[in-house]
A and B are shown apart, each in its own frame.
Chain A
Amino acid sequence: MKQELIIAGFGGQGVLSMGKILAYSGLIEGKEVTWMPAYGPEQRGGTANVTVIVSDEPISSPILSSYDTAIILNQPSMEKFEDKVKPGGTLIYDGYGINNPPTRKDINVYRIDAMDVAAEMNLIKIFNMIILGGYLKLHPIVEIDSVLKALKKTLPERHHHLIPQNEEAIRKGMELVK
């Protein structure tokens, strides 16, 4: 098993932390993982993206030219990464703020309106977990249990009471994917 994915959106959407939780979950399961961010001022307000690889085998390059999955959360990232999904790969996007939906026919495209749902559920801050849930439904590369353990590891103690909400968001995301 190997999943090479890119998560891309605006800074502040939780792109990097979603990737980090996924990488941590892989680590907890004894898998090989890399997490490579586009760093710098891009993080603040501009576009942010992170390449995450989860694999049973040692990972060579943390930098890729094409991806098994692209999770796209804004229009500029759609323009940048739609073409980089491997044929037969997966593209997940949130309809919020996307003016030009993906057009490729040789990949599997899923729309998750996580932003809208998160607003309804009053979970805006963890909208990224809804997306993660959707992704894990399609590609169950790690167990939800591992994700919860990863949250516990990566979140500061004072935020641990939010873990049940995160779980709820992940499960909601799984329901949303069709």
Chain B
Amino acid sequence: MDIKEIIQPENMVYHKPDLLNDVPMHYCPGCSHGVVHKLVSEIVAEMGMNEKTVGVSPVGCAVFAYKYIDIDWEEAAHGRAPAVATAIKRLWPDRLVFTYQGDGDLACIGTAESIHALNRGENITIIFINNAIYGMTGGQMAPTTLMGMKTATCPYGRDAKLHGYPLKITELAANLEGTCYVTRQSVHTVGAINKTKKALRKAFENSMQGKGSSLVEIVSTCNSGWKMSPEKANKWMEENMFPYYQLGDLKDTTNQ
């Protein structure tokens, strides 16, 4: 088969989602963001919502999400994405509105906005990328940094006496009356990616059906920040992150 044949539609077994722009991403090789972007692009198109979706990007590595997914976006101030999304969804109830936030954005500076948007049951989806570190600013401690984990601002390892404990904000969210679906997933294997796609689809559908807030946490790697190869980072995540941030649904009231 030559190249011309290979790219014939009938021979294609995989292609880039239409909504994923053909521009180089600034994400590091091995980063989880690219995979999640791809899933979001696929789901929006599969739901037929290309023209009815507004994404809210955060401050953090995903600040430029708007360059990569070909939909309308509002870029929020650090931590305020759930407030921004609240207004968009309330003012345009027939739109699909989601936020895409990291651990610092969602679980530190924006804790109040996250908890209250979820508690009000806003019909939005919060996509929460938890890689236990501040990637964009160069590897500082995050609210979700594990005990003993070394970062630029806890170079001797996270110490409860100095820094407190890693925040399980997703468990908190599961206890709020306003949330209908709270789940923790990952994208480090094909199986995990498929599960995450299902979770995101469910969350988006919940928000369009007015069922309340959905939170999809995706436990992710930051191989640059963790100073590891992508492969090693995945292994480290499995061994260290998953025991503390256990995967699976924490709450699902949508089938009741």
Q: Is there a contact between chains A and B in the complex with CB atoms less than 8 Å apart?
A: no
Residues of A within 8 A of B (CB): none
